[in-house]
Chain A
Amino acid sequence: MSESNIPTNQWKLWEVFTQKKSGLPHEHAGSLRAPDAEMALLNARDVYSRRNEAVSIWVVPSECMVSSTPEDVGSFFDPANDKLYRHPNFYKTPDGVKWTS
């Protein structure tokens, strides 16, 4: 994802997400520049799937992406740190009980 602050005479930046095969999640493949969504999709196919690497592609304008920041990583994810009881291995079953999960 670009963090560029320099004014640009280039086309809009797009983030490309590809799905390898149906049933799998879409994953970030990279970015590219294109004047509109239609061209972004065509370019994404030519740049990121020349060898059937994708069965589905999403393109999103980079300016629409919102993300967490590395500086805040500690406090941002902190709420999950002290909740071991959210995991099944927090709980013990009585001896002799067979537990399959």
Chain B
Amino acid sequence: MIATDTERELEFQAKIDRGEVIEPKDWMPERYRKQLIRMMSQHAHSEVVGMLPEGNWITRAPSLARKAILLAKVQDEGGHGLYIYSAAETLGIDRGEMIDQLHTGKAKYSSIFNYPTLNWADIGAIGWLVDGAAIVNQTALAKCSYGPYSRAMIRICKEENFHHKQGYQMLAYMMRGTKEQQEMAQDAMNRFWWPALMMFGPSDTDSPNSAELMRWKVKLHSNDDLRQRFIDRTVPQAEAIGLKIPDPKMKFNETTRHYEHGEIDWQEFKNVVSGNGPCNRERLRARVKADTDGKWVRDAAEAYAKKHMN
């Protein structure tokens, strides 16, 4: 007996409600597949584009140890992109197609990477704040209903913890250093704090996809809940090393046991998402150039493979 799509959809929802995991060959609503492809490809692109602001500082790292750490971190980001691309390919989209969508501007990536890295402390701020926010998001995604995505997230979270901690340690050292070093760290904090909060996406009242994604357990928490979780764990870390949160309205509410924050500038967020951030064009140009310049390497590998097949 052939089940109708409505019956299949009911069974699919029941499966998710029972806490079961969806695997690539299982039946899924077309919209579930589409939404996951959109989210996962955005996520993979973010990992890959995320290499650019940090790559900018590899040659200028202040010591060999910091250079080795940064290289390892950037290599991890490339690896994370590969895990997620291959997890997304299980949904029937080709990696080449996803990369093409990135290069033609059809697919988005996390807006945070459209901000420039102006000084060395920015590398610390990215590890601590940007990867810190990413961990909060990804820890939630590790429990999502799609098996390959969830498994990729578990792997990624382990590695992100190194990124997060090395960034914090770097800023902690700078805050114990000279006045100039302290100012540099605070400057990085001032520029990255708000964009890091925006990484969780629009407020729940303004997030069109949230309800559907939560019903399918692709998302398990709302944007605002995850943002709050990040703030609650990050503010005490900032205070511990003497960094100020650039938000005069930030205060701890003794009753709710949560920090309350000032208004986020959603106009800025929309502006950066729609392509007008400080580095949007530069990032895409760098990605396309890397792809074009690397073509001869791929061609050579292919020619070598063909030669040795016979």
| Chain A residues within 8 Å of B, Cβ to Cβ | 1-6, 8-11, 13, 30-33, 35-36, 38-39, 46-47, 50-51, 67, 69-71
Residues of A with C-beta under 8 A to B301: 35-36, 39
Residue ranges of B at the interface with A (Cβ–Cβ < 8 Å): 23-27, 72, 75-76, 79, 82-83, 86-87, 89-97, 148, 151-152, 155, 159, 298, 301-302, 304-305, 308-309
Find out whether the CB atom of B24 lies under 8 angstroms from the CB atom of A32.
no
CA distance A32 to B87 in the complex (A): 9
Q: Is the pair B305, A8 in contact by a Cβ cutoff of 8 Å? A: no
Contact status of A67 and B25, CB under 8 A, knowing A13-B89, A30-B87, A35-B305: yes
7 closest residue pairs by CB, A with B: A36-B305, A35-B305, A31-B86, A2-B89, A10-B96, A35-B302, A35-B301
B29 to chain A, nearest CB (A): 15
Q: Contacting A8 at CB < 8 Å: which of B23, B75, B96? A: B96
Contact yes or no, B87 A35, CB < 8 A: no
Assembly CA distance A71 to B155 (angstroms): 29
Residues from chain A with Cβ under 8 Å of B94 in the complex: 4, 6, 8, 10
Shortest CB–CB separation between residue B152 and chain A, in angstroms? 7
Q: Which residues of A contact B83 (CB under 8 A)?
A: 30, 47
| Pairwise interchain contact B92-A3, C-beta atoms closer than 8 A | yes
Instruction: Give the shortest distance, in Å, between B166 (CB) and chain A (any CB).
Output: 14
Interface pair A3/B79, CB less than 8 Å apart: no
Cα separation A69 to B95 with both chains bound (whole Å)? 24
Additional A-B contact list (5), CB under 8 Å, known A30-B83, A35-B301, A50-B75: A35-B298, A35-B302, A47-B82, A51-B159, A70-B23
Q: Which residue of B lies closest to A40 (CB)?
A: B305
Q: In the complex, what residue of chain B is closest to A33 when comparing beta carbons?
A: B95
The minimal Cβ–Cβ distance linking A49 to chain B, given in whole angstroms, is 10
A sample of 17 cross-chain residue pairs with beta-carbon separation below 8 angstroms, ordered by A number, consists of A2-B92, A3-B25, A3-B90, A3-B92, A4-B89, A4-B93, A4-B94, A6-B97, A11-B302, A35-B305, A36-B308, A46-B75, A67-B25, A69-B25, A70-B23, A70-B27, A71-B27
**CB distance A30 to B152 under 8 Å?**
yes
Docked pose: A8 CA to B308 CA in angstroms: 22
How far apart sit A6 and B94, CA to CA, in the bound complex (Å)?
7
Residue of A nearest to B300 (CB): A35
Interchain CB contact under 8 A, B305 and A32? no
Query: A6-B93, A8-B94, A10-B96 are contacts. A1–B302 as well, Cβ < 8 Å?
Result: no
- Partner among B23, B24, B151, B309 whose Cβ is within 8 Å of the Cβ of A36: B309
A69 shortest CB reach to chain B, Å: 6
